[in-house]
Amino acid sequence: MGRQRPDVPTLEEVAARAGVGRGTVSRVINNAPGVRSSTRDAVRRAVSELGYVPNFAARSLAVRRADAVALVMMESDWRLFGEPFFSEIVRAVGNALTDSGMQLLLTLIRSETERQRFLEYARGGRVDGVLLMSVRAQDPLPDMLAEAGLPTVLLGRRTGEECVTYVDADNLGGARTAVSHLLDSGRRTIAAITGPLDMYVAQCRLRGYREALTHAGVQDVPSLVVEGDFTEESGRLAMAGLIERHPGIDGVFAASDTTAAGALTALRAAGRRVPDDVKVIGFDDFPLAERTDPKLTTVRQPVDEIGRTMVRLLEEEMREPATAWRHVILRTELVLRDSA
């Protein structure tokens, strides 16, 4: 007679037994497409051998609802809540929930302890669904929530292989259009101030910058690329360093409007005229872009539509769990003002 397992088997144990990642196990459990039949069979054998039971209790047995949705920001610094991007997303999601009768709960996850605490909170039936933003590449929380049977929608993606439902803007295409505009106006020494490169959104905007240069036959110079963190201060510091290294710089693509605002400050301090000496383009098109001096040319991402789409997909998943996760990419638009 075999030894009885002292603990309930986990998703990680199923993944280890089947020889796959936990995301693959989640896709099999949720009947999502894109998994080879041999892999699907291996996962099902592991589930059977271990006696694993997915945690769908909160969804299948609940006769009550919490009437609440959690909007979770995966950032280590509370101050980033004050950045325009996050405040605009909160506004857009809040507006989309206005007629739903659901309460919007905001939370910040800064550590593994807080991640586990929120997971247990959500599993306890205190929310009906979760909206996640600012998720880094290796963060397991979306898979954990999906495995627990909690409707979950991401703002953006962790990687190009994301399987959990997400809503994103066309970051690559938007960046490519912005840099192409600088190139078409005759600029050739064009810098990029990126967002954090452990975020897929920042990687896509950098890739769009590079694709535009390649298409125009302009050399991609590594020292013209500086990693920032989407904040105004990072834009100011990055721009100051770029001016020192490349005095002939004549164009800047900044990965957010706040970063572009910081770049404008540094250019002004260095005596560079915008757009005469240096043209600058941002990304977002938040109200800040109308208040900079000069007014900022930028890539508009449809924040209101992003918020509405996230809430719509979450509500649909809450009403009736889908057999596949859904991926929505919304178009961006270059908005011309005075800086480029």
Exposed e or buried b for every residue in 245-278, given b needs 16+ CB within 10 A?
A: eeeebbbbbbbbbbbbbbbbbbbeeeebebbeeb
Structure tokens at 178: 């912005």
- Distance in angstroms (rounded) separating the CA atoms of residues 108 and 272: 39
Identify whether the C-beta of residue 239 lies closer than 8 Å to the C-beta of residue 263. Answer: yes
Q: What is the pLDDT of residue 74?
A: 84
- 271 Cβ neighbours under 8 A, 6+ residues apart: none
171-300 topology per CATH: Rossmann fold (3.40.50)
In the chain, which ranges are continuous DSSP H helix?
11-18, 22-29, 37-50, 57-60, 84-96, 112-121, 141-147, 171-184, 200-216, 232-245, 257-269, 288-291, 303-319
Question: Are 61-169+304-330 and 171-300 equal in CATH topology?
Answer: yes
pLDDT along the chain (340 residues), means of 10: 51 87 77 77 87 57 69 74 79 88 88 88 88 87 87 92 92 98 97 94 97 96 96 96 96 97 97 97 95 97 94 89 85 97
- Cα torsion through 239, 240, 245, 250, rounded to 10: 50
Per domain, the residue ranges of the chain are 11-54, 61-169+304-330, 171-300
Cα distance between residue 175 and residue 301, in whole Å: 11
Q: What per-residue confidence (pLDDT) applies to 324?
A: 78
CATH class of 11-54: mainly alpha
pLDDT of residue 61: 41
**Cα distance between residue 121 and residue 148, in whole Å:** 12
> What is the pLDDT, as a whole number, of residue 265?
97
Q: What is the pLDDT of residue 209?
A: 98
Other C-beta atoms lying within 10 Å of the C-beta of residue 194: 26
Structure tokens belonging to residue 163: 């399987």
CATH superfamily ID and name for 61-169+304-330? Response regulator (3.40.50.2300)
How would DSSP label each residue in 197-230?
A: TTSHHHHHHHHHHHHHHHHHT----GGGEEE--S
* Structure confidence at residue 25 (pLDDT): 81
Which residue type does 116 have? Q
- Residue 102 sits at φ, ψ, to 5 deg, of -100, 145
